[in-house]
Amino acid sequence: MEGEKALLWGGRFTGATDPLMVQFNASIGVDKRLFLEDIQGSQAYAKAIARVGLLTDDELQSIIDGLDKVLEEWNSGTFEIQKTDEDIHTANERRLKELIGAIAGKLHTGRSRNDQVSTDMRMWLYKASGRLQDFLKKLMAVFIERATVEVDILMPGYTHLQRAQVVRWSHWLLSHASSLSRDLQRLQQLQKRVNVLPLGSGAIAGNPFGIDRELLAKDLGFDGVSLNSMDSTGDRDIIAEFTFWGTLTMMHLSKWAEDLIIYSTKEFSFIHLSDAYSTGSSLMPQKKNPDSLELIRGKAGSVFGKCAGFLVTLKGLPSTYNKDLQEDKQGMFDTYDILSAVLQIATGVLTTLQVNACQTHGALSEDMLATDVAYYLVRKGVPFREAHGLAGKVVQLAESEKCSMSELPLGKLQSLSLSFDSDLANVWDYNHSVEQYTSAGGTSKESVMKQIENIKAGCGLV
């Protein structure tokens, strides 16, 4: 029973807890990653209760110094987790008591693990979000640099995995950078919502000792305090948002990876991946596999699962804190760990890959200019629906004549429509094709360069 009484909640119980239940109930194996935030939150809370007379100056200093020693042990790897340490809060308070004695028992006055763990997680996630933003910005900087330098490279653009229209390689790069720019903005917005302090909410009803929560928030670097104690102890919106953010970001990165996997095949040969981000086959010596990209694509599923699983957990809960919420941290940590690794690997892949401009240009074909034929006729005054039909007939005529569209005699073209003239020759120029898309967001050089400036400005990369 001695171990039973050492538990934060053990005083009410007289019977022993099943050892398996003790193990099942514990979360120290996961939430020990919050040791720094838990200590910082406890030191700030000690100051808050000292300000209302619940700690003397000497007691406060003893707690602050004792927690500093606990932190030193965590940082040096000498902290020893005990069997009775259910979670990081129990572990730190137990060790503090060993160091400074009974005074440690005053630290938890008016505080619950419900508001304590929520505070720790928000502090951790705020910093983690900042690191992920840095990784995202580094990746986007590579997209922008390559789009700027390689702006004159042309390639086929695909819909339904079929060659559609001529675009710039830079336009393809920026299509993915645009998705990531939204991911960056979402993470920045989420970080602001994370930075709200729940500490001082107690278990459910609030704090009875009149602590200054606004000053406590300021001490810990929060922007403000939560509005309602019942809501804040059970609120895990930020975890749901974070795992969804990770899901959406991984979806965008998976799409990018899939494109590059296709482009790296011998059949396409648009790009060449660096050896640093490829592996070989255990059986076939000639193979060079895009494992970095396949792992990015594959790990997207893991993040999706974290999000879906946690949302199901939340859906089944009544209001305020429930033990189910102990499952929140694993998904948060896993999402961070995966995104942290993926963003850095993606940056390395994109930095080192080589684009084969001859191959991308060689994959262009005149049939991709069929829409340009329609646009040519529109500029001659032909209604688009009619022009679209005529362009289709030009394609059909070239197929029946077993020649390219540009080789069709003008007379045969005029048998379809008198709007065709000798200036149709301009349509067969691929550079002319991309340069006609001058509207914002288009693939003309001017438009692409404008996109680059807009993304740089919007993401703070100027």
Q: Enumerate domains of the chain plus CATH numbers.
A: 2-109 (1.10.275.10), 114-362 (1.20.200.10), 366-458 (1.10.40.30)
Any idea which of 41-50, 162-171, 282-291, 293-302 has the lowest mean pLDDT? 282-291
Percent of the chain at pLDDT exceeding 90: 88
From the CB of residue 137, how many other CB atoms can be counted at a distance below 10 Å? Answer: 16
Indicate the pLDDT class of residue 21, thresholds 50, 70 and 90.
Answer: confident
- Is 340 buried (19+), middle (13-18) or exposed (0-12) by CB count in 10 A? middle
Residue 281 catalytic?
A: yes
Residue type for position 264:
S
List 281, 302, 365, 415, catalytic entry: 281
pLDDT above 90: residue 1: no
Indicate the pLDDT class of residue 16, thresholds 50, 70 and 90.
Answer: low
Percent of the chain at pLDDT exceeding 70: 95
Specify the pLDDT at position 9: 45
pLDDT above 70: residue 280: no
From the CB of residue 275, how many other CB atoms can be counted at a distance below 10 Å? Answer: 10
CA–CA distance, 238 with 215 (Å, rounded to integer): 23
List 27, 112, 118, 160, catalytic entry: 160
